[in-house]
Amino acid sequence: MWLRIQRSTRLWIETGIGIEAPSPGSEVSFLIGISAEESRDRYLEDFENGRSNLPFATREPASTGSDTGNAVSTLCCVDLSQSNLEGLPAQQDLSGLNIRMSAFQDRDVDPTTLANPSQIAGGSLYPLFASHDIFIARGVQGNCTLSPELSPFLSVPVCPGDQSGVVRVQNRYETEIQCDQRRGADRDSRFGFTAPPGAEFGFRVLTDENGQMLDASEISGREGTVLLAPDALRHLSGRFSVPFADLEAGTIRVGDLILARNAEVLYLDYGWVEDITLAITLDVPGNATAGLIDLDVYAVPTVRSDGSQAERECGPSWLEIRDFWRVGHIEICPDPSR
């Protein structure tokens, strides 16, 4: 992050009887890493009383206190996936996230004109220091676990002579999800099931009148996803999206039906959910071979999603946990000729 000083510090402070530079008795401060709303709340009164040069963070220097639509966020989105930051209760020197400030002068190239950050040259160091550490966050542990209830183990009879029909298999998955800091999963958490490669069963895909699969990217937020039949995967607790499938897991055709080997839903409520109950309906072709019906269970919960500007701009913090579910087995029906 780069900040450019465009006016000599000798001209920064208007005292009412003159202009002076910052000093221990006349300090200046600014905040970054806050939302537009918080910026307005912190600075508007000072602006009206002549103690701030702007009413809020903005790209419009001529903004007045009534131009609240010109307020902008200075939130920083930080990817800590490769960091060595520790979680609480570790001490602040291990769990604290700080911004380190350096000042430079005599720069020849504006950093905003460079496409690759590695090309940025600092210039000459300038002895400008913050009055204290710029501490912006503390790390917390984000591990989550699934604690599923025992589901019925189903026997699914199929008959080798049936070349076009399907057997519909219904079951439900109940689990408790617990994350550190005594939290559950929050808005936009993902829950899904995936059949193994080559599985002879799947979740029914919705198609249009021409037999084309229906795009689900506006719901899933991802390309390569399609809508599933409403009963393929539905919630029995909480508020979830309609089900969709990721085509990367594969599909199979049974007559005019398309079956996906994946089904997923999004949790849509704000606030933590801890108890999840999801009902599934699988289609098994009538000519399937005997074997187990296994599903990989995955949850991609977020433990931060409060609808704030931070959430809208930076997105949630994702985790991923997995489970295994043996739904039942396919058995060949007895031959009536014997």
**Whole-number pLDDT of residue 282:** 95
Query: What letters, b where the CB count within 10 A reaches 16 and e where it falls short, cover 286-308?
Result: bbbeeeebbbebbbbbbbbbeee
**Whole-number pLDDT of residue 109:** 60
H-helix segments, 205-292 = 217-220
d(CA 136, CA 158): 60
* The two three-digit tokens of residue 50, written as one number: 């002549």
Q: Are 332 and 212 a contacting pair, CB within 8 Å?
A: no
Whether 89 has a pLDDT exceeding 50, the answer reads yes
* The two three-digit tokens of residue 185, written as one number: 């999963």
Whether 226 has a pLDDT exceeding 90, the answer reads yes
Task: Locate the domains of the chain by residue range.
Answer: 9-138, 144-332
Residues facing residue 332 across a β-bridge: 158
Query: What confidence tens digit (pLDDT) does each residue in 275-290 have?
Result: 889 999 999 998 888 8
**Whole-number pLDDT of residue 338:** 46
Query: What confidence tens digit (pLDDT) does each residue in 234-248 have?
Result: 988 778 999 999 999
Element (H, E) at 43: helix 36-48
Phi-psi region of 188 (alpha: psi -120 to 50; beta: other; left: phi over 0): left
The SS3 of residue 307 is coil
Residue type (1 letter), 82: Q
Query: pLDDT above 70 covers what percent of the chain?
Result: 81
Phi-psi region of 271 (alpha: psi -120 to 50; beta: other; left: phi over 0): left
pTM: 0.65
**Whole-number pLDDT of residue 160:** 64
Report CA-CA distances (Å) from 155 to 152, 166, 198, 287, 332: 10, 15, 20, 15, 10
**Whole-number pLDDT of residue 315:** 58
Whether 161 has a pLDDT exceeding 70, the answer reads no
d(CA 319, CA 189): 9
Answer with the residue of higher pLDDT: 253 or 181.
253
Report CA-CA distances (Å) from 69 to 60, 163, 248: 10, 63, 42
**Whole-number pLDDT of residue 230:** 95
d(CA 248, CA 251): 9
**Residue with the two structure tokens 């400030």:** 101
Closest CA to 265 of 225, 305, 294, 295: 225
Whether 307 has a pLDDT exceeding 50, the answer reads no
**Mean pLDDT, to the nearest integer, of 232-261?**
92
Residue 337 DSSP one-character state:
T
Query: What confidence tens digit (pLDDT) does each residue in 103-155 have?
Result: 777 665 666 666 666 667 666 777 776 655 567 777 766 677 888 888 889 98
Q: Which long-range contacts (CB under 8 A, 24 or more apart) does 56-59 make?
A: 57/31
Query: What confidence tens digit (pLDDT) does each residue in 10-47 have?
Result: 888 887 788 888 888 888 888 777 778 888 888 989 88
CATH topology of domain 144-332: Immunoglobulin-like (2.60.40)
Least confident of 75-89, 224-238, 249-263: 75-89
* The two three-digit tokens of residue 83, written as one number: 């960091």
